[in-house]
Structure 1
Amino acid sequence: MMTETKVKPCEADAKKVWRVPKIRLGITGYDVFAKGIGFFLAMAMPLPGMAPFGLSFLAQERKFSIKAILAFIAAGLGSIVACDRLGAAKYIGAGLIYLAVLFVLERGVRVTDITAGLAAGAGVFATGLSVIFVRGFSVTELLLLLCEVAIVIAASLMMEKSSDFLQKQGFSVQDIDSETKLSLGAVLAIAILSLKQIYIGSDFSVMNCAASVVLLIIAAGCGATYSTGAGVVLGLICGIGGNYFMPVLGAFSFCGFLAGVFSKFGKGGVISGVVVANAVMAIYTNSAMQSVLSLFEVLASSVVFAFVPDSYIEAVKEILFIGENERKSISKMKEGLRSRLAAVAAAFENMSKTLDKLSEKTAYDTGDIATVFDVTADKVCRKCRKSPICWGKDFNSTYREMFEMLNVLREVGKLDENGVRDHFAGKCLNITALINELGHQFEIYRVRETCRNRLDENREIVGEQLSGMSKILDGLAEELCVETRPAAVSAWEVRSRLERRGIKAKELNVLRDKNGRHKIEVVLKGTALKEKQRASLEKLMKSVLKCPVMNTDEELLGKKYLRICFSEAERYTVETRHATRAADGTNGDNFRMLHLSEGKYVVAISDGMGTGDRAAKESEAILELLDSFLQAGFDSRTAMRLINSIMIMKSGDEAIATVDLCIIDLFTGEVKFIKTGAEPSFIMQKDGGVETVCAASLPMGIVTDAEADVSKRRIMEGDRIVMITDGVESRENGSLWVSEFIHENCRSDNEGNIARNILDYAISKNSGAVNDDMTVLSLELKAVG
């Protein structure tokens, strides 16, 4: 039997009425802690006046609730602490807009990560646009606002995984996938960056202390490899935007390395590693590194680290290390990291382009000149009875006369009545006061222009460094994108051959790099190999790979095992000889040879400006930086651009030096010459021909956008390369005589020192006088074996 239920009209209408969403309660102390993180994220400022990460954190809330309000309060308080009134109002207003969006969409619309990011970006764009109009509209401010919107959206997407993870009050290491690790690491980095402006006293940086504690924990749990990488990342975070970028990067990297090396001795060893690293760098730099990590910061971080429970350190170790069950997700992780690196690189490049636009100069700013005239007229002519005539009826004539007086000030530097036309001086009742006031206002204008030009120059330099960082990150992203090529031999084949010879490998890996070259890693029981065993292994690897091999690395793994690496041997080696002569005391020329792990041999000469100690210090500093960048895997041209920007920022004095870089591929014989203001190089071919490699480029330290001149050649076994500095030139025909001298005198000089012969002849051409520092290098390519 069916029953009929009648619905009252008021009830039927009520079902169609939109209800105001209720704020859901039921929060815990952990929720307050998780949302409180937004306070620190909101304080992080990648650029002055830009603090977008608090809004990105708020965008992780997808429903209107008490938790969303807590996140808004935390982010708003952080903005108030970090920004000025208008800046804080901008971010608080954007947060209110985002909460309003959640309030409106509460009815059932699903807020996705993209929707949330776009809503947050739209909020900051709306409030930011209002702030721009309040402060005064400019295109550059609008471009910076668009960059900030992009950062808000990108950061909200990046924080998604870490936000989901932080919602959990309990977790296991297996729950943390690779993307979550990256997201958590980024959130931690932003949190550390938020402490940048917090100091206790005048020298104690809370950011440096927090970064040091993180570095100590990673070193204790994961060893030297991870701690060195963490040191590089923490150095980038703590150093960016500061005056000591390279020292900070070097200090954290070195501290991470030594702390990881001493981690086998427990917490005491890790602390000792940081203390020793800091002491060594302070001594090496004559206490200059105290501006990076002070003694109190090191001691405070060590004390905090000493009280960190071992279980926390073990948890960090388990989180960072990739287990066997995660190896299948490495490709996905690499792609995620590549895209993030590419996004960061794009952000750096956008910032660089924005700074370039901000630094565009105009030779003549009529707006500022008009201000000079207006202020002068207001102070001198306002009460004059002839003012309505001069600045009314005869306005154009008066303005032309003012410009004529201004031109005299520009050319002569001062102005008196002799520099004013007679007819204007005759009709002006206050000509002396007008001249004095115009000179005063013009001096103020010149000071303002000088400051503006200096600011533009600094923007160009910072933009150049950001562009360099962008290219470095792009290179890293490309390397991550390169897939490992299948090896020509299998690990099973190598293992079976070892077992037939009675050698049992605990672990064996066969790798192949992007150039197709093989590398075999073998882990054997024992702590050392006898020469006979090593020779036997090399012979076996040679037969397996069917090419010459060399033992490239050996490393002890604990107390029982030894890891040995074999790689394809290089086809060539380089024999170098040099000859130098100083003009006065210390030689201002410096040179360096470097053998890179990828089979490249690098020779660099730097000639500092002038002679003596100062020139030597400048050239040595350049080579130290170049060595560090190339060892770290930086592209050579990017490294040269970064060093150039550093030399420009070095001091108010001129810091100019040339760099002559020669990079030889020991597998193919290809040679790359990179020159900045350097002298020609000469290739002495085995058949007797001599080729000159010239360049037309400026030395380092002159202009920000200087480009190095790059040339490529291919040399054969027995060919030689000669590199010189400008002191070797003669007055008559520069360095052209060197080519003739090599062609006529050095073809049969197989055993002699070509460098010495060239130097001696250069001195004899100058009647025995040495007026400038001289350096000659000769490089000969020889086949291995």
Structure 2
Amino acid sequence: MSEMLDELSQDFTKTEQVDTDAASRVITVCEEYGLTVQDAVCMLGRGGRMTVEILASDAGVKLNREKWRKELCDACGRELDHPVVTRLGDNIKIAMTEKPLITVTLSSVQLQCTGERLCGDAFETFTDGAGRWYAVLSDGMGTGGRAAVDGAMASGLTSRLIQAGFGPDSVLRMVNSALMVKSGDESLSTLDILELDLFSGKIECRKAGASPSLLCSMGRVSRIEKSSLPVGILRDIRAERSEDTLVDGDILLMCSDGVFTGGIEWVEKKLRTYDTKSGELHKLAEDIAVEARNMQEEHEDDITILAIQVKRKH
């Protein structure tokens, strides 16, 4: 618990200033649209980037979101991105940040094992309303229904906790505890968490038993790989973290271990020879998935590929 509070306090230290006048105008706009606001804050972080957070009662008010967003932009004097809404019991948290400088294109491909209705891999992508984009990939141990339950639980719980405001390191510990007590069964799952700052391009990758990710930047391919155990094995878990910065056109591949049955070098070669300006990201992911399945001669495994490309606005 102390580590979770420490993470939250670190977030607060990144806030340089609070604009109380803008917060008052935000509350006025919200109330004009029928929202019962309990609190609102307009935070200015490093570089003067504004983040708006609103806590309101979940009264089921229907409003014209685009018109409401534009009025909030006028109230703050900033161009704000679309809101991210998180339900917290009887309340909702609305988070908005200035429009980011980086856009993300995602192409995903999943292949479950022959004869199985469910895939043991699960993934989710989302923004947190504070200028960060996340991808969460989980691989439940084995194949079929049980693996699908473990994978979906790990990725789903991770995503919801991050959206609720917890840091990825704390979330990993909570998900680990949840898997350890789940019905008293042995539940194991890998976790691969990508955090991307949509303003600076900085990424943080946290891996718990997850396969390597591949980064193609300016024609060169590098591996993001760290050795650690999956969640659900030991009470004390600490995922390995890697950092890097993406530039315009960079491509990152997040993969489940089924992709690398035939090795990793051939995937690196495919990524290295891919034309990043072709606009055929989905074809790249699809070709890799099909070739990976053809390499699984003795034992099939679920295959998931997330192909992520960033573009910087000029």
TM over 0.5: yes
Amino acid at match of 2:158: L
2:244 to 700, 707, 713: 713
Distance 1:709 1:518 in 2: 31
Quick one: structure 1 residues 620 and 552, their matched pair in 2 at CA, closer, same or farther if it must change by over 3 Å?
closer
Amino acid at match of 2:3: K
Distance 1:613 1:670 in 2: 36
Match of 2:49 in 1: 517
Query: Is 1:693 the equivalent of 2:224?
Result: yes
Quick one: structure 1 residues 775 and 485, their matched pair in 2 at CA, closer, same or farther if it must change by over 3 Å?
same
Distance 2:237 2:66 in 1: 52
Match of 1:765 in 2: 295
2:110 to 555, 566, 580: 580
1:737 to 259, 266, 290: 266
Distance 2:52 2:198 in 1: 20
Distance 1:760 1:701 in 2: 31
Query: Is 1:783 the equivalent of 2:312?
Result: yes
Quick one: structure 1 residues 684 and 529, their matched pair in 2 at CA, closer, same or farther if it must change by over 3 Å?
same
Distance 2:9 2:68 in 1: 40
Match of 1:645 in 2: 177
Amino acid at match of 1:655: S
Match of 1:667 in 2: 199
CA contact (8 A) 2:191 2:210 kept: yes
Amino acid at match of 2:98: E
Aligned-residue offset at 1:673: 0.6
Q: Secondary structure at the match of 1:587?
A: coil
Spell out, residue by residue over 1:49-102, the C-alpha distance to the aligned partner (whole angstroms, 9 max, x if none). Answer: xxxxxxxxxxxxxxxxxxxxxxxxxxxxxxxxxxxxxxxxxxxxxxxxxxxxxx
Quick one: structure 1 residues 611 and 747, their matched pair in 2 at CA, closer, same or farther if it must change by over 3 Å?
same
Distance 1:536 1:649 in 2: 47
Aligned-residue offset at 1:729: 1.4
Quick one: structure 1 residues 568 and 653, their matched pair in 2 at CA, closer, same or farther if it must change by over 3 Å?
closer
Distance 1:591 1:615 in 2: 13
Quick one: structure 1 residues 568 and 654, their matched pair in 2 at CA, closer, same or farther if it must change by over 3 Å?
same
Distance 1:639 1:611 in 2: 25
Match of 2:57 in 1: none
CA contact (8 A) 1:763 1:770 kept: no
Distance 1:694 1:619 in 2: 20
Distance 1:553 1:628 in 2: 12
Aligned-residue offset at 1:674: 0.5
Spell out, residue by residue over 1:186-214, the C-alpha distance to the aligned partner (whole angstroms, 9 max, x if none). Answer: xxxxxxxxxxxxxxxxxxxxxxxxxxxxx
CA contact (8 A) 2:95 2:130 kept: no
Aligned-residue offset at 1:574: 1.4
1:550 to 69, 81, 85: 81
Query: Is 1:596 the equivalent of 2:128?
Result: yes
Match of 1:750 in 2: 279
Query: Is 1:612 the equivalent of 2:141?
Result: no
CA contact (8 A) 1:600 1:663 kept: yes
Q: Where in structure 2 are there 5+ consecutive unaligned residues?
A: 27-39, 55-61, 86-93
Q: What is the percentage of aligned positions where both structures have the same residue?
A: 30
Aligned-residue offset at 1:778: 0.5
Match of 2:253 in 1: 722
Quick one: structure 1 residues 483 and 718, their matched pair in 2 at CA, closer, same or farther if it must change by over 3 Å?
closer
Q: Where in structure 1 are there 5+ consecutive unaligned residues?
A: 1-468, 496-508, 555-563
Q: Secondary structure at the match of 1:485?
A: strand
Quick one: structure 1 residues 715 and 482, their matched pair in 2 at CA, closer, same or farther if it must change by over 3 Å?
closer
Aligned-residue offset at 1:645: 2.4
Amino acid at match of 2:267: V
Amino acid at match of 1:779: I
Quick one: structure 1 residues 579 and 746, their matched pair in 2 at CA, closer, same or farther if it must change by over 3 Å?
farther
- TM-score when normalising by structure 1: 0.33
CA contact (8 A) 2:111 2:303 kept: yes
RMSD of equivalent CA atoms:
3.6
Distance 2:235 2:178 in 1: 10
Q: Secondary structure at the match of 1:549?
A: coil
Spell out, residue by residue over 1:324-375, the C-alpha distance to the aligned partner (whole angstroms, 9 max, x if none). Answer: xxxxxxxxxxxxxxxxxxxxxxxxxxxxxxxxxxxxxxxxxxxxxxxxxxxx
Spell out, residue by residue over 1:463-497, the C-alpha distance to the aligned partner (whole angstroms, 9 max, x if none). Answer: xxxxxx2222334455667876165x965xx99xx
CA contact (8 A) 2:140 2:150 kept: yes
Quick one: structure 1 residues 565 and 683, their matched pair in 2 at CA, closer, same or farther if it must change by over 3 Å?
closer
CA contact (8 A) 2:101 2:313 kept: yes
Quick one: structure 1 residues 760 and 537, their matched pair in 2 at CA, closer, same or farther if it must change by over 3 Å?
same
Q: Secondary structure at the match of 1:513?
A: strand
> Which has the higher relative contact order, 1 or 2, with Cα contacts under 8 A spaced 6 or more apart?
2
Match of 2:233 in 1: 702
Quick one: structure 1 residues 513 and 766, their matched pair in 2 at CA, closer, same or farther if it must change by over 3 Å?
same
Aligned-residue offset at 1:566: 7.0
* Structure (1/2) with the larger strand percentage: 2
Aligned-residue offset at 1:784: 5.1
Aligned-residue offset at 1:744: 2.7
Amino acid at match of 1:744: T
Distance 2:175 2:245 in 1: 27
Amino acid at match of 2:119: N
CA contact (8 A) 1:510 1:518 kept: no
Aligned-residue offset at 1:535: 5.6
* Structure (1/2) with the larger helix percentage: 1
Match of 2:190 in 1: 658
Distance 1:609 1:615 in 2: 5
Q: Secondary structure at the match of 1:627?
A: helix
- TM-score when normalising by structure 2: 0.76
Distance 1:724 1:553 in 2: 27
Aligned-residue offset at 1:553: 7.7
Aligned-residue offset at 1:669: 0.8
Number of aligned positions between the proteins = 283
CA contact (8 A) 2:247 2:312 kept: no
CA contact (8 A) 1:553 1:565 kept: yes
Q: Secondary structure at the match of 1:756?
A: helix
Aligned-residue offset at 1:705: 2.3
